[in-house]
Structure 1
């Protein structure tokens, strides 16, 4: 049986605590039998959450392996996008005067 990851333990524990508190406050139970039922239901829910949390270990290993490969090669290589075309100057629009003052008008 594989060991649980820290994320699985955290999510499962948080689910047990939050579910127990929520059900105890929602149902306002006073008897010990109903408190035991709520505790067992919370433990089952926490176990379900802990088991279904995806493991982060293999994903990080794959990312590191891809990152170590040569740059520009592989499925995560950036696509070569063309840059914006330079604006062409036309004869109809003269270039602005470099010596014009702040108060100069055309």
Structure 2
């Protein structure tokens, strides 16, 4: 079983803390069994959140797979494409150069 990454630990812990506090405040539970049930439910919810957070390894593997598909297709990668050349407009020339082609 792979180890959880830091993001999974943070999301799971934050879910346990926030859901426990929210359920205790909403329910107003004061007896031991109800508090234990709320804590158990919050722990299960935190585990569910921690396991559903995507891991960094799977996203990196997905990026590599997409890059290999692009390379296999023979198309250049987006960073390898040349930058577009800006079009020159007649209106953008300064007024002093407008008469260079005329005879004096």
When residues 29 and 9 of structure 1 are mapped into structure 2, their CA distance, relative to the original with a 3 A threshold, is same
Cα offset for 1:7?
Answer: 1.0
Match 2:85 to one of 80, 83, 86: 83
Match for residue 16 of structure 1?
16
Alignment of 1:50-69 (within 5 A): 50-60=50-60
TM-score, scaled to structure 2: 0.66
Aligned length: 90
Q: Give secondary structure in 2 for the equivalent of 1:23.
A: helix
Match for residue 96 of structure 1?
95
Deviation string 1:73-95 (CA, Å, 9 cap, x unpaired) is 84782244533320136xxxxx5
Q: Give secondary structure in 1 for the equivalent of 2:19.
A: helix
TM-score, scaled to structure 1: 0.65
